[in-house]
Structure 1
Amino acid sequence: MGQQEKVATSLDGAVSEEISASLVAVDEELARRYPGDPGTRQPVHTVYVPGDVFAEDTVRSWGDRALAALDEHAPDAGSFAAVLGIGEELAGPVYERVRAKLHHEPVEDLRIDFEDGYGTRADAEEDAAAARAARLVSEAYAQGTAAPYMGIRMKCMEAAVRDRGIRTTDIFLTGLMRDGGLPGGLVLTLPKVTYPEQVTAFVRLLDAFEKAHRLPAGRIGFEIQIETSQSILAADGTAAVARMIDAADGRATGLHYGTFDYSACVGVSAAYQSSDHPAADHAKAVMQVAAAGTGVRVCDGSTNVLPIGPTEHVHEAWRLHYDLTRRALARAYYQGWDMHPGHLPTRYAAVYAFYRGGMEQAAARLAAYVAKTGGDVMDEPATAKALSGYLLRGLDCGALDAAEVTGLTGLTRADLEGFSSPRRAALTVTAP
């Protein structure tokens, strides 16, 4: 075999070294700002319960009330599918999985609310409620009855309620530490953020708490609630939400859209305030772009139409909630708010139909990509990442089973996680 011919070049290695040296700061900035998705489970929803209503049986009670609603208004797969427009091939599997979910894990993420859902109370009353919330959350995790994610929404950083919000946060976190430490599923939500400086202030609060308890720096993360127009577009014309992510200094875990506060802020009439209004779509699109690649996840808002009362009204409310949830999923908003136990059946029905309905196609495309057999779609590595992420989210929420995904793709969960891993997670930047 002949000697391989040397490929001719015009530049020596010094040019490449010089270029690399000039981009070290950019490489470091990319790795810091855009590490990619954290690869952890994202809940499909967040349930809000006022601080004085939250009780030790809240999670189980929501599941039982949701099951009772199904028993009364859609007692079998056919009637439920007919209400929501679910195809015959999905009707049985979706209904069975919804009922199973409501039995064993009715709530994936629960926020004990000390803001709008709680209101203004005497300081002593809120102090007691915050301490009680910490005790109940600690007990729930110790007893194995907690939702996978739990925490509080405190009052915001605006002057009128700032001290109260800080104190409630302190009481809640202190109570958790006293009763066994911070749970792994702890989530805090900072509402009504208007300026990045308010995010910086909250970071300062959490940093002080961590130092007081000798916790690792950055242990406590939080969600930023987007409820004002100023959080989307700042006075100088910049995207304030991007600056808020930066101000969180790596602690931001999510951006939660507040449907009704934001709608009111931009002047949408009450009858038209909804998560599918053009104003909502614009805000969430800006949030989505600002968060892309940062590891911060976007969460859709809620509907205020409750599925209660006569069956006809329940069915109307279910259809609305189901359609809004499916719409959000198609737009890559994989999480939303649920405000009533009656929303749980349609939350899970929409999520399960979304993943089960697309499972076979996604699995086939991913299998073809891995086998390099092609097919009628030419996918790239970025699409393989999206396909594996889709299947992983379906597994996490209970829409799909590991055995059926492996059977269709030939891939294990570890394989899927390898495809969906953060783009720059393993990047190590060193100076030449």
Structure 2
Amino acid sequence: MAEHRDGTAPTSLTKSVSEDLAARLAPVDAELARRYPGEPASRQPVHTVYVPADAFSARTVRSWGEQALALLDEHAPDAASFASVLALPPQLAEPVHDRVRAKLEREPVEDLRIDFEDGYGRRPDAEEDAAAARAARLVCAACEDGSVPPYVGIRMKCMEADVRERGIRTLDIFLTGLMDAGELPAGLVLTLPKVSHPEQVAAMAELCAEFESARRLPAGRLGFEIQIETTQSILGPDGRATVALMIDAAGGRATSLHYGTFDYSAACGVSAAHQAMDHPVADHAKAVMQTAAAGTGVRLSDGSTNIVPTGPGEQVHDAWRLHHRLVQRSLARAYYQGWDMHPGHLPTRYAAVYGFYREGMERAAARLAAYTGSAGADAAVMDEPATARALGNYLLRGLDCGALSPGEVAAHSGLTRADLGRLAGRTEEARDESAP
């Protein structure tokens, strides 16, 4: 038994035991810290808008906002009618409607992807070369005049043999065009589609490193999204969860995992009429993605619906109700981002997102106030640190997208954004200038 000292509890183990264990576990500690850095401090967009490269123009973002507003004015011109279509609670009708309109006027698109893959197809090399160079020029011009969305980039063709060289060349032309004009946009995002093997991800990581070296960029400046569109990206031939291996193969460059609704559903043999974000095969794939990405700093994005709000009023309302329900469902399952394929999806994207955060804001703030011991806090729920992190991230996401204001969050919680960042484990949390 260790020597008993006055004022201290007796122990039986010597200090060397804990020292030996610390030395033994030091490599494990380092490995866990490398693989699981936690939630990134940056803002996550609530959606990604995909536009074919040949359809992209200097007015794309503004045009999407204008079309969305026109649809809203025609089919739900006021808060009451919009709330009626979507069955919003009465207390949310005005706040959600007003914020949706303001968002469509100010920042209709949070994340824009110029598509050189399925939405663009195969073209003569000279045509795609020109389109890639043009995309770079338009993005640079948007950066200069302030019209660029918070996040923007391209989806290249995949790493499969028949399109690999074309995809690499398009990426090179686009990035070279950006660099020749000055520098890469702060919110640059690259998307690697149809990944079916971890080595394809490793190849993309190597490609990024080679470009950084060629243009003397800081190591790690280029990251990319991995699109989960093949069954092989979820389950490998050896029975292992391939998506976890892909995150590792990216060498720290993977920023998010994007679920591809229609490619993945088709790969599983789901008939066209039943390919949807809420199909059981989709839920299984996204659950595997979610588990593999947890704690790694790699974020998740849900897929899309191909039912677009066009045509007669009731047809528009039906499409809105479907999209609104699917986005709500994704949010409840912690998929905080998704694809939008049509300007008419924007009103219901933001309605679902704003309703999600506004409906739960007061309760989440009260729980954090109780957890931190703020004056007058109601301790009806005894939360643990992990839940406090989730509550902090919930309010931060609401602030980022414009659903909540710093003043109302502070009024209900007694906490600043910096306080929320610390609670959420965002060690480098600072106000993102791109956020509303």
Q: In the alignment, what sits opposite 1:370? A: 372
1:201-216 residue pairs with structure 2 within 5 A?
201-216=203-218
Equivalent AA in structure 2 for residue 101 of structure 1:
K
1:410 maps onto 2:414 in alignment: yes
2:344 to 342, 350, 368: 342
* 1:273-312 Cα shifts (integer Å, max 9, x gaps): 0000000000000000000000000100000001011111
Query: Relative to structure 1, is the Cα distance of residues 4 and 314 closer, same or farther in structure 2, using a 3 angstrom cutoff?
Result: farther
Equivalent AA in structure 2 for residue 391 of structure 1:
L
Q: TM-score, normalised by structure 2?
A: 0.96
3-state SS, counterpart of residue 253 of structure 1: strand
Check conservation: 1:39, 1:420, Cα contact below 8 A.
no
Check conservation: 1:355, 1:400, Cα contact below 8 A.
yes
Q: In the alignment, what sits opposite 1:383? A: 387
1:392 maps onto 2:396 in alignment: yes
1:101-250 residue pairs with structure 2 within 5 A?
101-250=103-252
Partners in 2 of 1:14 and 1:295 — Cα distance? 35
Deviation of residue 6 (structure 1)?
2.1
3-state SS, counterpart of residue 112 of structure 2: strand
3-state SS, counterpart of residue 344 of structure 2: helix
Equivalent AA in structure 1 for residue 421 of structure 2:
E
1:87 maps onto 2:77 in alignment: no
Partners in 1 of 2:405 and 2:76 — Cα distance? 25
- Structure 1 stretches lacking a partner, 5+ long: 426-432
Partners in 1 of 2:190 and 2:103 — Cα distance? 25
Partners in 2 of 1:109 and 1:264 — Cα distance? 26
Q: TM-score, normalised by structure 1?
A: 0.96
Q: In the alignment, what sits opposite 1:430? A: none
Check conservation: 1:134, 1:172, Cα contact below 8 A.
yes
Check conservation: 1:45, 1:336, Cα contact below 8 A.
yes
Partners in 2 of 1:279 and 1:327 — Cα distance? 15
Q: In the alignment, what sits opposite 1:428? A: none
Check conservation: 2:41, 2:428, Cα contact below 8 A.
no
Equivalent AA in structure 1 for residue 363 of structure 2:
Q
Q: In the alignment, what sits opposite 1:68? A: 70
* 1:335-368 Cα shifts (integer Å, max 9, x gaps): 0000000000000000000000000100000101
1:37-52 residue pairs with structure 2 within 5 A?
37-52=39-54
Check conservation: 1:35, 1:422, Cα contact below 8 A.
no
1:247-396 residue pairs with structure 2 within 5 A?
247-371=249-373, 375-396=379-400
3-state SS, counterpart of residue 341 of structure 1: coil
Identity %: 70
Say what the alpha-carbon RMSD is for the aligned residues: 1.3
Check conservation: 1:108, 1:149, Cα contact below 8 A.
yes
Partners in 1 of 2:280 and 2:122 — Cα distance? 32
Check conservation: 2:41, 2:427, Cα contact below 8 A.
no
Check conservation: 1:36, 1:424, Cα contact below 8 A.
no
Deviation of residue 4 (structure 1)?
5.9
Partners in 1 of 2:427 and 2:73 — Cα distance? 45
Query: Relative to structure 1, is the Cα distance of residues 235 and 423 closer, same or farther in structure 2, using a 3 angstrom cutoff?
Result: farther
Equivalent AA in structure 2 for residue 363 of structure 1:
A
Partners in 2 of 1:393 and 1:117 — Cα distance? 30
Q: Relative contact order: is structure 1 or structure 2 higher (C-alpha 8 Å, sep ≥ 6)? A: 1
Equivalent AA in structure 2 for residue 417 of structure 1:
G
Partners in 1 of 2:59 and 2:426 — Cα distance? 37
